[in-house]
Amino acid sequence: MKTIAIANQKGGVGKTTTAVNLGHGLALRGRQVLVADCDPQGQVATFLGLRQESGLFDLLAGGRSLSDVVRSADTPDHCRPFLRILPGDRRTAAAQAVLLLGGAHEGVLQDALSAIHVDYILLDTSPSVSLLQSAAIYAADYLLVPVAVDYAALEGLGRLLSSLSDFRKAGGHCQLLCVLPTFYDRWTKESKRSMRQLRYQFGEAAWEPISRATILRECAAMGLTVFEYAPSSRAAEEYRELTAAVLATAKEVEDGGA
């Protein structure tokens, strides 16, 4: 089982879009996938056309078991084999408060998720520095960082990678999987400049970008993934390529550490 935290300490960079579409991409490749919503906005369920629920709160602060709160990602109109979600809603923020009052440690999420057996867990996180974001990174094997390629492309990225370094110094095992450029527009100098900056700083860890696409906003509004809404689109092809890269790179990292 591999756990990937999708995080950035800057909002509006496409974390939930990436979590949902990568999750479905992996499921379409036959992997058992759980997408866990660690963001109080609770948009994982919404992006998949499902009802928000206080699943993460119930798991971490309400005494419910993991099997009680994990849901199928199927809807009446769309069957999504191998894809499940741990939904969240505004009560996720309350869960964090309860955990802090109870003196919870950063391993709380890792412990709570240990009972599930899937191929991939994707953790969608909030942009704010919080116990849950720290717990997601602590629980993860890999960190995937979406970064919008605009003038503020590196805002929040340095702080997040510094946190990752601190976790590793303290004995954590999470490592950087990739920096994923998002909202790329090949016609603008700003996008090209930001891409050059990311590739200069991160080398091969700066992966191929996800382009700015109205289709991706439409998918979210319709409660569909890009593979369902526009399977022949450039956006769908880019998320297929991302899925293949995750599968290949995660295996390489695993084999290299063997």
What tens-digit pLDDT sequence spans the chain (258 residues)?
999 999 988 888 999 999 999 999 999 999 999 999 999 999 999 999 999 999 999 999 888 999 999 999 999 999 999 999 999 999 988 887 887 776 667 788 999 999 999 999 999 998 877 788 888 988 999 999 999 987 666 666 777 777 777 767 665 688 999 999 999 998 888 888 888 889 988 899 999 999 999 999 999 999 999 999 999 999 999 999 999 999 998 776 566 554
Query: Rounded to the nearest 5 degrees, what angle is found at the Cα of 126, between the Cα atoms of 110 and 151?
Result: 130
In whole angstroms, what is the distance from residue 165 CA to residue 162 CA? 5
Of 3.40.50.300, 3.40.50.720, 3.20.20.70, 1.25.40.90, the CATH number of 2-253 is 3.40.50.300
Give 247's contacts (C-beta < 8 A, 6+ positions apart): 26, 29, 31
Task: For residue 242, give the DSSP letter.
Answer: H
Specify whether the CB–CB gap between 100 and 131 falls below 8 A: yes
In whole angstroms, what is the distance from residue 221 CA to residue 212 CA? 16
Alpha helices in 114-156 (DSSP H): 131-139
**Residues 230-248: b if buried by 16+ CB within 10 A, e if exposed:** beebebbebbbebbebbbe
In whole angstroms, what is the distance from residue 58 CA to residue 244 CA? 34
pTM, to two decimals: 0.93
Q: What residues does each domain of the chain span? A: 2-253
Place of tokens 């660690």: 38
6 closest CA partner among 112, 167, 100, 147: 147
Q: DSSP 3-state assignment of 102?
A: coil
Tell me what pLDDT residue 155 has.
Answer: 67
